[in-house]
Amino acid sequence: MGVVSSIGIGKDEFWNNLIKGKSGVDKVNLFDTSKFKRHYAGQIKNFNPAPFINPEIVEFLGRASQFSISAAKLALDDANIKEKEIKGKEVPVIIGTTMAEANSLDISSGRILRDKFDNITKRLLLDAFPASIPRNIGYFFGTKGVNFLIPNACSAGNYAISYGFDLVKRGRYDLVIVGGSEALSRVAFQGFQRLYAMAQRMCRPFDKNRKGMILGEGSGILVLESLDKALDRSAFVYAEVLGYGLSSDAYHMTIPKKEGIKKSIEKALKNSRLSIADIDYISAHGTGTVQNDKAESAAIKEAFGKRYREIPVNSIKSMLGHCMGAASAMEAINCCMAIKEGIIPPTINYKEPDPECDIDCVPNKARKVNVKTALNNGFAFGGNNCCVVFGKTA
């Protein structure tokens, strides 16, 4: 696993700061926010791609691609896979995103507005294509397999993991690189403000006085492979992907539907051959918006019945902000680390309980829990829901 985030680069720094409850939310300096009504996000400050990407290549890569290539390199190193071992091989790259390289669109549109058409470079034009992120990963590592982008917005990371899982389970590939990547951009920042979905300074999932989401950025990449092959090469296995569940509400463009969320949870359990008694931990979508947290809490209560208060349900978006297409991939890494370490990170900024969100949200302090099975929730605008189940290797 590899991660690039506002609270750390690499899974260890990321994890250590998660369990400390460290916030990566700060004032944005990536672009001028003076004309916006909001000014804070989970921006990755002073990101330096040099340890991962040759300087002469960096200038040809958008910010989201820089994040994802760096996270992929960390993931391959963590999997003890040398780059030369996958070069020229059939290794699929499947990446989820919401806005792709929207920074490149920001720059291009700004130059168009200033009539500087000749300053729109070939790189900016190529980056404008949504599939530039997996394309750049495949190009960087020289892989020849399926190259696929899943633009299912805020559940896209989970969709990428699920598709990779299918490819491995069906025996089509032994090794797949999956995950999500997202970079902050003016268009996303302004877009979520115009939807009145963004809080002023902090994200407070499940709190009665929550005011909305905070945007974030980053990348989470996982190396999936068949268990037999992983064990044959003595790889360390963090967790097994047991199954997933999908649903599509077709209910409202921005408002989640309890029934759709419940359906995706139930499908994930059924496809993983598990019962409600088997889930030890839920990594919530937990955006901090009034409607999402209310609907997600209600769906959990209905799906798990009397058990719902027994299951810890946290939201690491309280620390990272909402990293959109990268969110559920980064939360998947959180699930795997929780299984490995037996610790659940907190939901920070929690002050006042909400009777409509009366779940155990692990408020403000990490908790030791023997996590054998974790459910990772990912939901997106338009009702694109995807839940993935991770289990401890027997």
User: Is 361 in the active site?
Assistant: no
Beta carbons of 101 and 64 less than 8 angstroms apart: yes
Of 143, 147, 140, the residue nearest 163 (C-alpha) = 147
Of the residues 203, 285, 323, 386, which is catalytic? 285
E-strand stretches of 171-277: 175-182, 218-225, 240-248
User: Is 386 in the active site?
Assistant: no
Of the residues 39, 252, 322, 335, which is catalytic? 322
**Amino acid (1-letter code) at residue 390:** F
Of 105, 122, 117, 141, the residue nearest 60 (C-alpha) = 122
End-to-end CA distance of the chain: 20
Rounded CA separation 231/49 (Å): 32
CB-based burial label for 305 (10 Å; 0-12, 13-18, 19+)? exposed
Q: List the beta bridge partners of residue 379.
A: 385
Beta carbons of 282 and 332 less than 8 angstroms apart: no
Rounded CA separation 15/316 (Å): 11
Beta carbons of 381 and 251 less than 8 angstroms apart: no
User: Is 285 in the active site?
Assistant: yes
Catalytic residues: 154, 285, 322
